[in-house]
Structure 1
Amino acid sequence: MSETIGFLLNDAARLYRRGFNARVRDTGITALQWRLMIYLRRFEGIRQGPLAELIEVEPITLSRMVDRLEEAGLVERRADPTDRRAWLLHLTPRADELIAGMRPVTDALAEEATDGLSAAERDQLTGLVERVRANLSRRICQKEETAA
């Protein structure tokens, strides 16, 4: 019996998270917190609401995550100059150091996950998964627009 692409992607992501969490346990950072920080690196100064949507957690869950990362000195909230009720999220220099320090760990995990694949196959796999993600992202956005 062959597995569906959805099952395979989901199961691979689960195993990848497990491997990540095992490797970084001593840092106190979880895979979801890591994801939050990587998104913050990409979208520096984003508000909490849009970030919650990006990482697909409830706003209250994100708020608690940010609280923990703020207490750890990794994230800071800055007042939004255009809306005094809103906060803009920024990584601290300590977070930048942590991310840089964890790069060898994430690189080793990626290497393990793609063991036995040639460089061309790795590039092809990355491209194919990016296309699957783009396809799903477009369809989700279209459904949201239709529902609105």
Structure 2
Amino acid sequence: METQLDKRFGFLVADVDRLCGTRFDELARSSLNLTRAQCRVLAYLSHYGEVNKARLADLLGVAPISAGRLLDRMEEGGWIERRLNPDDRRERQVSITAKAEQALDRARRVGDEIAAEALAGFSKQESEQLIGLLQRVRGNLSKIVDR
């Protein structure tokens, strides 16, 4: 068993996530009026469309109550809207606003800049291979976790 942290898969993935997040915060401070967590909400809503709070909390890896507080602040800021689900009146669907779409474009540019920094020195083929490998890892784990 490998004991060096810099060679352990889980540690490396977590550390890359931490470093990317820290860099995102640094770059976003000057160009966005949103936190990293809020940008993640917008990215998921843009990708998945309207979802309920429970699904969004699951995607974010937080408790529903934490997602609810985050969504309250975002709704107050005009970033998201919550509507009753026509199929289940007990549930509210969360969607992105036009204001948020514009901010999300800026957030994606920040993400692209971080990716360019992180992949500096990689060939295009190496970058594509790394992305493909990570997609496979996600697929493998999704089969187990999302049963």
TM-score, normalised with respect to structure 2: 0.90
Post-superposition offset of 1:99? 0.9
Change (3 A) 1:141 1:106: closer
Match of 2:20 among 16, 21, 25: 16
> Which amino acid in 2 is paired with 1:40?
L
Q: Structure 1 residues 54 and 102 mapped into 2: Cα distance closer, same or farther (>3 Å)? A: closer
Cα distance, 1:30 vs structure 2: 2.0
Q: Residue 117 of structure 1 corresponds to which residue in structure 2?
A: 122
Map 1:101-112 onto structure 2 (within 5 A): 101-112=106-117
**Structure 1 residue aligned with 2:34:** 29
Count of aligned pairs: 142
CA shift for structure 1 position 104: 2.3
Cα distance in 2, alignment partners of residues 86 and 97 from structure 1 = 27
1:133 lines up with 2:138 in the alignment: yes
Which residue in the other structure is 1:54 paired with?
59
Hey, what's the Cα distance between the residues in 1 that align with 2:12 and 2:36?
Answer: 19
- Give the Cα–Cα distance (whole angstroms) in 1 for the partners of residues 109 and 44 of structure 2: 19
Give the conservation status (yes or no) of the 8 Å contact 2:39–2:107.
no
**Alpha-carbon distance, 1:109 to partner:** 0.9
Displacement of 1:77 in angstroms is: 0.3
Whether 1:82 aligns to 2:87 is yes
Identity of aligned residues (%): 37
Where does the alignment leave 5 or more consecutive residues of structure 1 unmatched? Answer: 143-148
More moved, 116-125 vs 80-89? 80-89
User: What is the DSSP-based 3-state SS (H/G/I as helix, E as strand, rest coil) of the residue aligned with 2:120?
Assistant: coil
The Cα RMSD (Å) is 1.3
1:42 to 30, 47, 61: 47
- 1:73 partner SS: coil
Alpha-carbon distance in structure 2 between the residues aligned to 1:3 and 1:114: 19
Amino acid in the other structure paired with 1:99: L
Who is 1:93 aligned against?
Answer: 98
Partner Cα distance (1:82, 1:94) in 2: 27
Give unmatched runs, 5+ long, in structure 2. none
